[in-house]
Amino acid sequence: MRVGIGFDVHKLVEDSDLILGGVTIDYFLGLLGHSDADVLLHAIKDALLGAIGEGDIGRHFPDTDPQYKGISSLKLLKEVVDIIEDKGYILNNLDATIIAQKPKLAPYIERMQKNIAEVLRVDINKINLKATTTEGLGFIGKKEGIAAQAIVSVVERKGL
């Protein structure tokens, strides 16, 4: 078994969609980024790539490459799944936390879990998502941004 950790943060801005876990959240602010700025999926992709020793998403999907402008992070997650499977691994477990003062995310968590499980080709019970606030502290507490962290374990496919 191998383990990886990922972290991402994006600024909240007007005139942008708020997409987390591949779900569009009804909110008046969205996240700023080169792709769709889905901080949750970015953290998950970094954790998966780290678990297999393949660097980070910037190495594989650089924000200087126009082909990734506005791209769905779910699509890029599918590419990361191909990379980990090509190296002979499969997800064993994912635990992730979204850190946001607003909006409340509990109504969206189950849809996010379903999206992620489907793309990772695993049972939903291997995906655990949580959301928390910073109790009004820092840039997240001031509603200037949203962060996410993820930890994953992967196992060799032949070991299943």
CA distance 6 to 40: 9
Residue 82 counted as an annotated binding residue: no
- 8 labelled binding-site residue: yes
- Residue 24 annotated in ligand binding: no
Answer yes or no: are the C-beta atoms of 128 and 87 closer than 8 Å.
no
The answer to whether 21 is annotated as binding is: no
Question: Is 50 one of the annotated binding-site residues?
Answer: no
The answer to whether 97 is a known ligand-binding residue is no
Q: Is 7 annotated as a binding residue?
A: no
Is residue 61 annotated as involved in ligand binding?
yes
Q: Is 53 helix (H, G, I), strand (E, B) or coil?
A: coil
- Please indicate if the annotation marks 99 as binding a ligand: no
Q: Is position 103 annotated in a ligand binding site? A: no
Q: How many residues does the chain have?
A: 160
Residue 58 marked as a ligand binder: yes
Integer Cα distance of 1 and 110 in angstroms: 27
104 is in an annotated binding site: no
> Annotation-wise, does 60 bind a ligand?
no
* Type of residue found at 73: S
- Distance between CA 51 and CA 95 in Å, rounded? 14
28 a known binding residue? no
Q: Is 156 annotated as a binding residue?
A: no
* Closest alpha carbon to 146 in 7, 5, 22, 4: 7
**Is 153 assigned to a binding site?**
no
Binding region: 8-10, 34-35, 42, 56-58, 61-65, 132-135, 139, 142
Binding-site residue positions for a divalent metal cation: 8, 10, 42
